[in-house]
Amino acid sequence: MPIRRIQLLFLCCMIAVPVQAQRTVKPVLHGRHWVAITGKPLGATAGAMMFSKGGNAVDAACAMLGATSTMWDVLSWGGETQALIYDPNQQKVVGINALGAAPTGATAEFYKDQDMKYPPEYGPLAAVTPGTPGGLMVMLAEYGTLSLKDILEPSIQMAEGYPIERSAIRSIENHAERISEWPYSKPVYLPNTDEENPAPREGQLFVQSNLAETLRKLVEAEAAALEEGKSRKEAIYDAYDRFYRGDIAEEIVRGTREQGGLITLEDLDQWQVYIEEPVMTDYKGIQVYKLTSWVQGPVMLQALNMLETMDLKAMGYNSTRYIHALYQVMNMTFADRDFYYGDPYYPPAEPMEGLLSKEYASARAQAINWNENDPDIKPGDPYPFQGEENPYLHYLDQWSEEDTTSYGSDFSYESDFYAGTTSIQAADAEGWVVSITPSGGWIPAVIAGETGVGLSQRMQSFVLDPAENPYNLPEPGKRPRATLTPAMALKDGLPYLSFAVQGGDSQDQNLLQFFLNIVEFGMNVQEAVEAANINSFQLRGSFGDHEIRPGRLLLNNEVPDWIRKELRDMNYNLTFGARTSGPITAIQFDRKHGTLWGGASDHGDDYGIAW
């Protein structure tokens, strides 16, 4: 049989074989009453504990957030929280913006004066103000039902000592020298007397006495308020005030500034959590929601608008043409991200209306080169699509995909590209749904004095040159454009999907393909989280040196040779991996049977519980 006919038969098989026949490493989580999923088994257990207390999905999500923040591997209590919540009472999706802000003195000129091309990856000058404690307490106060004492109980128990897992130990060992430089981090991360390897051992109780005391102070503030006759909500906000304006805030500032950081009491006092309207696009009758330009979330909506103009199902799952289409579309939308996204609460105003318009998407799609990869894709001009003139065309004329390419080691580059976090999914029978992508304060983090709170490293996501992104320059109080990007979709006015993933700049790439796996290729939620994805590296990284690799494409090891050859002939630089789906967590809503389907990635520590 001629080779080309074999290829066509293979393609037909990819389209025609029922995906229900596929086998998954993990089973689907089936639940009638609730589902709790996150990146750590202990975290999922904390969520289940809240459901057993009669809490709703917001309570469970907050407990999972606290537990995973206590586990350090990918985030800590000084990090940031981004969330989407479906409120069945309002029948709408709301956004939670709990990203920390640049502290006093953190300007582009400050970092340039220290001969930095970007703010640093690590250390006290990488820190923004803590966001996760405020995000957790605001979500709980506004949408939860349980007390802060209930929610923090698992976290306090863990801070008093939990058996540490191997992945966190590996991170500590890799950064032991840096950790030793920070006086409050060293005794926490490196508790053993073994001079050659003072890191914890797997299964050893990892004790964080200062953090446990900080969390108990929050519970004490809540209890005191309740004794005064204040309401549940008011009591939680009293705890919030103790963290951001009371003795905890004072120690955060003292301990941070002692180590060379910039955070002030005024920075903590003026920072706030925003409850905001997310952005949305309609993809073939499904409403997909993301947080707006302070994260990369709109990238996925832009990509869906472009892909809606194409017959993806006819291309075939992970065919050459499908891979090429995704790669080109993602590169165009990420180029827009790299130039136009920033904090919407600070000028200049991001052109979101134009970026998310269907007409802009159509115009961008028409520019795709279908014969080969375009290594010089630039940001588009969305301003005419919102009836305005672009004030930054002079920067676009200078744009080059080579500007930030330093080509360091592939190991350090990919470590930055996939910079870790976790994700949280929760849903209940009453209709509450929560999708969270918290992060920041990962190992190695500077611990803020005696609080036990590890500070975020998110300053590095700012740029210092307006020609690179005039919307994302640091100034005190401003939030850096982050990668963190929970997602939610409604169908017929009701929750259809809730999904998120860890992995830095790969997040919306993986979530886009997860969504298409379900909507276009009929996979169930577990098949979709395990399915082989691609990753483009032709975008400016959000970490470290903000590097870029034009034409570089990650494929799964199982991609056949003839697709590899065709892609190489189209000027792709291929790399391969055994698992390329990203550690996605997701919930799908079965309206026909009134049940919940949960999916958790088949690699990493992602884990879920359902009932």
* φ, ψ for residue 142, nearest 5 deg: -85, -30
CB 530, CB 501: distance < 8 Å: no
pLDDT, one tens digit per residue, over 519-571 is 999 999 999 999 999 999 999 999 989 999 999 999 999 999 999 999 999 99
User: What is the DSSP secondary structure assignment for residue 20, as one 8-state letter?
Assistant: G
Residue 235 lies in a domain: yes
Alpha-carbon distances of 476 from 122, 268, 385, 482, 528, rounded to whole Å: 19, 11, 32, 16, 41
Asked, as a colleague might, if the bond just before 444 is cis with ω within 30 of 0, I would say yes
Q: How confident is the model at residue 406 (pLDDT cuts 50, 70, 90)?
A: very low
* φ, ψ for residue 455, nearest 5 deg: -85, 150
Report whether pLDDT(349) > 90.
yes
Determine the structural domain holding residue 67 and report its residue range. Answer: 42-78+98-270+430-461
pLDDT, one tens digit per residue, over 20-48 is 445 899 999 999 999 999 999 999 999 99
Residue 399 lies in a domain: no
Q: Which is nearest to 152 in space by CA: 266, 272, 235, 91?
A: 235
Q: What angle do CA 45, 510, 611 make, to 5 degrees?
A: 25
Q: What is the pLDDT of residue 382?
A: 98
**Of 245 and 16, which is predicted with more confidence?**
245
3-state secondary structure of 593: coil
Q: Which residues does 354 contact at the CB level (< 8 Å), separation at least 6?
A: 360, 382, 383, 384, 385, 386, 388
Residue 558 lies in a domain: no
Q: What is the pLDDT of residue 11?
A: 41
Average the pLDDT over 440-464 and give the result: 97
- CA atoms of 583 and 439, how far apart (whole Å): 14
pLDDT more than 70, % of the chain = 93
Q: How confident is the model at residue 414 (pLDDT cuts 50, 70, 90)?
A: low
- CA atoms of 490 and 497, how far apart (whole Å): 7
Report whether pLDDT(326) > 60.
yes
Average the pLDDT over 298-311 and give the result: 98
Helix pair angle (358-365, 298-307), 10° resolution = 60
**Residue 284 exposed, middle or buried by CB count within 10 Å (0-12, 13-18, 19+):** exposed
Residue 109, amino acid:
E
pLDDT more than 90, % of the chain = 88
3-state secondary structure of 139: helix
Q: What is the pLDDT of residue 307?
A: 98
Q: How confident is the model at residue 157 (pLDDT cuts 50, 70, 90)?
A: very high
Q: What is the pLDDT of residue 22?
A: 53
Q: How confident is the model at residue 185 (pLDDT cuts 50, 70, 90)?
A: very high
Q: How confident is the model at residue 17 (pLDDT cuts 50, 70, 90)?
A: very low
Return the sign of the alpha-carbon dihedral for residues 121, 125, 130, 131. Answer: negative
CB 215, CB 156: distance < 8 Å: yes
Average the pLDDT over 299-315 and give the result: 97
Strands across the sheet with 487-491, in order?
A: 29-31, 595-600, 584-590, 494-501, 487-491, 286-290, 279-283
Q: What is the pLDDT of residue 12?
A: 42
What is the torsion angle, in degrees rounded to the nearest 10, for the CA atoms of residue 484, residue 488, residue 489 and residue 494?
Answer: -160
Query: Which residues are 295's β-sheet partners?
Result: 482
Q: What is the pLDDT of residue 412?
A: 55
Instruction: Please state, rounded to an integer, the average pLDDT across all residues of the chain.
Output: 93
Q: What is the pLDDT of residue 32?
A: 97
Please provide the DSSP assignment of 326-395 as one string.
Answer: HHHHHHHHHHHHHHH---TTSSSPP-HHHHT-HHHHHHHHTT--SSS--TT------GGGGT---TTHHH
Average the pLDDT over 489-512 and give the result: 95
CA–chain centroid gap for 65, Å, is 13
- CA atoms of 286 and 489, how far apart (whole Å): 7
Report whether pLDDT(518) > 50.
yes
Total domains in the fold of the chain? 1
Alpha-carbon distances of 313 from 316, 324, 330, 563, rounded to whole Å: 5, 14, 18, 17
Alpha-carbon distances of 370 from 93, 322, 326, rounded to whole Å: 37, 11, 11
Question: 226-235, 583-592, 598-607: which has the minimum mean pLDDT?
Answer: 598-607
How many other C-beta atoms lie within 10 A of the C-beta of residue 361?
A: 27
pLDDT, one tens digit per residue, over 186-242 is 999 999 999 889 999 999 999 999 999 999 999 999 999 999 999 999 999 999 999
Residue 67 lies in a domain: yes
Residue 563 lies in a domain: no
Q: What is the pLDDT of residue 420?
A: 61
Tokens of 377: 């894709």
